[in-house]
Amino acid sequence: MDRPARRPGPPVDAARIQPDEDDQAGGQHLDNSLVSTWLEDPDLAAELADELERLRRLQADEELLLALELHQFTGRLWDRFVRELSRYGLGVLRAWIRHGTIYGKAKALTGYGLGRIEGWPDDQTIDDIATDTVVAALIYFRDKVLMTHRWQSSGGASLGTFFIGQCLYQFANIYRSALRAERERIDQATEPMAELPEDRFDIIKGIEETIVANDTVAEAMAMLSTDRARRALFLQENGFSQREIADELGLPDAKSVENLIGYQLRQLRKRTS
């Protein structure tokens, strides 16, 4: 069947179907200019580098966690992980406590404010609180976070950052305990001398009485959290004055020794009660 012949249409305007050379060149120039600007922007380049580094770190954390799971969170890999995490946590906590920034961070995370005493804690107490906090956080982090798969790289926080968050939670409780003990010590120090029981005149009447009545001195010593505390208690039990102990351990004064020993003994009583 023959088709009817097509009727001729209007003449074609060549200008309408040919791209304008100036417009085409201008568009290409605009695209290249934008790309060049983006690539040469130092702030944008820094943001991209930071983001790539963050993604690499999260990927490395995922691989590390898988390896720890395969080893059931034991062995040399776990020990090395704990060592590095402890070093990181202690460094952060000591700096935050010393500069006073930790109180705002803890309140922002937990919603609870922490009391303060002017000039306290001293350097030794800072070390003790930071150490106790990291130990408690490590146990919680392993049992309640890593083993239960609570940490996910999709959350955006690295393992180290997540661990510091757990440290802040643990810090609040440990700090309150240390603060309460310090306030009790201050209250006792300000009691009139006539009202003090006779056995209060010695900080430690006997290590067997003040720590655990049925344990040996060696066993009690082993329970102390730091080598410095063990040395201080040993020297005191062997007749050294607190001033002499301070000189021996490089502490600033006898008060630092009293705080060191008193804090450790209070912690031991809690653990053995």
Q: Which helix (H) or strand (E) holds 84?
A: helix 75-99
Whole-number pLDDT of residue 213: 39
125 and 59 both lie in a single domain: yes
Last residue of a domain, one of 145, 173, 190: 190
Whole-number pLDDT of residue 140: 93
Does any domain span residue 35?
A: no
Whole-number pLDDT of residue 208: 37
54 and 135 both lie in a single domain: yes
Looking up tokens 């309150």 gives 176
CA–CA distance, 138 with 168 (Å, rounded to integer): 12
Number of domains in the chain: 2
Q: Three-state SS for 210?
A: helix
233 and 172 both lie in a single domain: no
64 and 169 both lie in a single domain: yes
Whole-number pLDDT of residue 250: 78
Residue 188 corresponds to which amino acid?
Answer: Q
Counting Cα atoms < 13 Å in the Cβ hemisphere of 99 gives 10
98 and 203 both lie in a single domain: no
Q: Three-state SS for 253?
A: coil
CA–CA distance, 159 with 138 (Å, rounded to integer): 12
Please report, in angstroms and rounded to a whole number, the separation of the first and last CA atoms in the chain.
108
60 and 132 both lie in a single domain: yes
Whole-number pLDDT of residue 272: 59
Q: What are the tokens at 163?
A: 């661990």
Note every long-range contact of 31-37, with CB atoms under 8 Å and residues 24 or more positions apart, other chains counting. none
Does any domain span residue 133?
A: yes
Its domain, for residue 256, covers 198-272
Q: Three-state SS for 125?
A: helix
Residues of the chain with pLDDT under 50: 1, 12, 14-17, 25-27, 30, 193-194, 196, 198-217
76 and 141 both lie in a single domain: yes
DSSP, residue by residue, 101-112: THHHHHHHHHS-
Does any domain span residue 179?
A: yes
179 and 238 both lie in a single domain: no
Last residue of a domain, one of 174, 190, 206: 190
Whole-number pLDDT of residue 248: 79
Whole-number pLDDT of residue 203: 39
Does any domain span residue 250?
A: yes
Counting Cα atoms < 13 Å in the Cβ hemisphere of 72 gives 0
Which residues contact residue 191 at a Cβ distance below 8 angstroms, ignoring those fewer than 6 apart? none
Q: What are the tokens at 226?
A: 């730091």
Whole-number pLDDT of residue 169: 93
183 and 54 both lie in a single domain: yes
Kindly report, residue by residue over 84-125, the tens digit of the pLDDT: 999 999 999 999 999 999 999 999 988 888 999 888 999 999
Whole-number pLDDT of residue 87: 94
Does any domain span residue 158?
A: yes
Does any domain span residue 6?
A: no
Which residues contact residue 27 at a Cβ distance below 8 angstroms, ignoring those fewer than 6 apart? none
Whole-number pLDDT of residue 198: 47
What is the Rg, in whole angstroms, of the alpha carbon atoms belonging to the chain? Answer: 33
Greatest alpha-carbon span in the chain? 130
145 and 217 both lie in a single domain: no
136 and 233 both lie in a single domain: no
Does any domain span residue 44?
A: no
Does any domain span residue 17?
A: no
Query: Which CATH number goes with the domain that contains 265?
Result: 1.10.10
Last residue of a domain, one of 190, 208, 226: 190
CB atoms within 10 A of CB 136: 17
CA–CA distance, 63 with 153 (Å, rounded to integer): 11
143 and 250 both lie in a single domain: no
Whole-number pLDDT of residue 77: 93
